Chain A
Amino acid sequence: MPGSLLMIILYLAVAVFVVGLIKRGLKIAKLPIHLRWELSPVPHEKGKASYGGSYLEEFEWWTKPREKSLLNEFWYMFLEIIFLKGVWENNRRMWYFSFPFHFGGLYLVVVAVALFKLSAFIGFTGTNTSAIASLAIGVSVIAYGLGAFGVIGLCIQRLTDPVLKPFTTPSHIINLVFLGSIYVSGLAAIFSISNYAAQMTGFIQGMVTFSPPALPGIMGLHVILASAFLIYLPFTYMMHFVAKYFTYHEIRWNDTPMPGNDKMEKEVGELLSQSPTWSAPHLKADGKKTWVDIATEEMDK
């Protein structure tokens, strides 16, 4: 397959993905401040997180220094992201497929791509990088193998498990099949092309110098499928890795009190001066009265 065509598709895909990622993140971040809705355990509570305690356990908590541990938050997220701790604890049956899919089909794929890039960049210096490239191949095989195992298992579960089935929509299956096709085409390319590592390294180098070599058909198909997935991804709920930052850090663990926080007070003041339009009779929100007006008016006696 012509290298330049593949290069254009891949650059385009990466651009769409990056723009989609930023847009998603900004869209969530730009939503207004919310009322406190924290949920224990909050891991940054130093000395208390292990049992779910918070600073509100302290006598006159506002007179005590806030002791936060970012390391605890990091550790919590590490276990959650890498090992899917929540799924392990609460949904073991799904974990057996979800974990290989996430760990292999996503994280190891990223590692494999990084290794190929490393091999390509070091290769520019004339150094022999066959060891790194071989490692990249090994990681790719494990990644695609685990990913394929995971998506097949998840597909079967989603289609047959009476608990999951009523909630399964065509998009769930298409997403999994799409990912599966990337893993299978990757494995097929690796096993059918004897110098896959050299071709991939050369292709990445060509992407940098804007003169990529042509790739064998199956490898080209693999690159196209991966690119198409990158373009598709920002339009799906699979971007939950972005959302997860907010659901944990900004909602579950956001326990910042308002007193003394001028910036927050100012923002809340502005939000309270908006005019809601709810139509229930006890509110009489006519689109002119503000939140403050409605909240401070007396109920008819």
Chain B
Amino acid sequence: MDLTYTEEEEEFRAGLREWLTKVLPGLPPKPDPGDWPARRAYDLGWQRMLYDAGYAGLHWPVDAGGRGATPTQHLIFLEETERAGAPYVGANFVGLLHAGPTIAAEGTPEQRARWLPPILRGEEVWCQGFSEPDAGSDLASLRTRAVRDGDDYVITGSKIWTSHAEVADWCELLVRTQPVSDDVPKHRGITWLVMPVDAPGVTVRPLRTLAGSTEFAEVFLDEVRVPVGNRVGAENDGWRVTMVTLSFERGTAFVGEVVACRRVLGELAREARVNGRWDDLVLRRRLGRLNAEFRALWRLTQWNVSESERTGGVPGVGGSVFKLRYSHARQELYDTAAEVLGPDSLDLSREWTLDRLSSLSYTIAAGTSQIQQNIVAERILGLPKDRNGRKDG
């Protein structure tokens, strides 16, 4: 067990720090959170800077235009950019972390050449059209239909909770190409398509979150035509195509966030010190407990990253253990922030009040905590599936 970084890793860190110190002061001011076009431009601009400096697609394979960095280098990258206060991945999230890697793994050479470079260069934004009004946790029951018509699929249905749909160019879309029947289980007849968001028949209706912003949207699809050439993987094989990326991660999913939470925790302590609530023993101990929690989450991150380095990727189940604990800890952090703020915790102009509201999505998005617990119980601990309920998986 070794927690020290190798010489190469430290060199990588030093180079990155130097670059960050040089470029961050020249960044344009952060856009207004409600101004989506400005946010898009800002996030893409940052991606372009990373590209020009050779940091784009750090964790992508070299033959996909990435840098093929080790998981530890990726960890260092995420840690250092967060510490330096660099912009978040933002609107580039789906492209860099999901659609891109999926195309890199499953796409044809033409598909890779068409879609991957613009993601790396910060030219195009992607969104993820998976969830539907009647298919959330039970994603495989999705009903958006795609019917083959010559060289096109004709798609009708609707998606929901699609983050960044308002400003996206492309949507990684899951559609049903074969109806569910006695012979076709629900996760069989699904296909993975790339849909241009500006195609005729696509209507994006922003949804307001409880935090007041429009982070995600409903996407209505009315006979939208998508060329067959936009299909990644075989017809009806979309579930597997999706899982290839979803089920493998390198333990780095929340690196930046854990670093950020630790910084916030320090700020909370200093604020409590200033406003006098530090004298409250119960609150102080709660802050101490949270320090232990986030220190341990950081160690678990290092453990998972090292493990994925050893095994070439941790199956997503290890990620489930982490996500369960982290999403809960993040909510506890901002509930504690409310204790520190006192009456100010009801004031939306306080940064932590909005963050507290956003933290509520963490136990829901990307697999609810209940679903994550099912995954841990069934796939790690080997407990039997519930016979009355789901037949998927």
A and B co-occur in one complex: no
